[in-house]
Structure 1
């Protein structure tokens, strides 16, 4: 069945929300293989304006892009390598490796590798009937928060709550950033009558709590 871009994006959101629910129930990311794979396929279909293949691992590819590229999508959580079978490799035009990252129960998709199929063998090692790509931890330099714009701030008692343009929430007391913002935000949220759960019924993380607290405090002043 052909899906519209809106349906693909909506389905991706639903799959990510379900992944977060599973995490909230105590399921380890590595145990969510089928859901992980579906998230990767939907993400690939979204960014390529394509469609998922009619059958799982159809001839070695998972998504057909809008420009007719046949894309093999590999999605991982904690794995340190990805294998691509040589027997079906000639059917593939593009390799896309994705990683699902989890931070405080919030799920995001990271593009680890996006390359043409003919470039892939040089990036991987050869195993028995397969190419093996080793996943390396990225070490991108982080910009200091003081280089970023504060988009919202409010005071509650002795605490100053700040939200930066990248969504980061910082709680200060006496001008010092507190090492653990979430417990303070939970206490403030409870005092303001703000639910500690998000719309999916999962516990709000630091960013979600901070955002709701700031909205509430801004509205009350």
Structure 2
């Protein structure tokens, strides 16, 4: 008889424990960095540092979520180009290390970018574009590029940077990125992490112009 009572007691305790676990699983949100990433190597000979790239994307997603509050549980494909020929064949500019387009991050040979020390910031920069687009947010190009540099400040959009650019188009692109970065930094000066996050969430619901009027007291385009 005592055994029966004791069994019922422990059974009741197990029910309470199970209910608590189920409750926690429902109420605790999934981490914001849960990306769904597919890697596609355009050459069967290309071996790529998948672990390093996955860790990089996780860190970038954490940073993007911290500052924007946007959903980073997105689906992306990372297209790995073995050389500049295949990259150029897709009509991407020669000076670019990577490009985001319609759910895909096109990346130059990751070993080359790793050697140059720009793999992490290049991937992080393009992931920011992916998050913005897949959250349905429309931003002016100067702001989107400038904020990507605001978050990942050591990244350079120029794959083959030259101090004295002989190509006027390349020089113009470099000026655009530099000016965009400066403008965004001025806007974000003295803004807290919470204010920046509120700006992006408001922007998602009401648009960029309304968000700049509310949080910066100006209209920028």
Q: What band does the TM-score fall into relative to the shorter chain?
A: under 0.3
The TM-score normalised by the length of structure 2 is 0.22
Pick the structure with more helix per residue. 2
Q: Which one scores higher on RCO, CA 8 angstroms, separation ≥ 6?
A: 2
Pick the structure with more strand per residue. 1
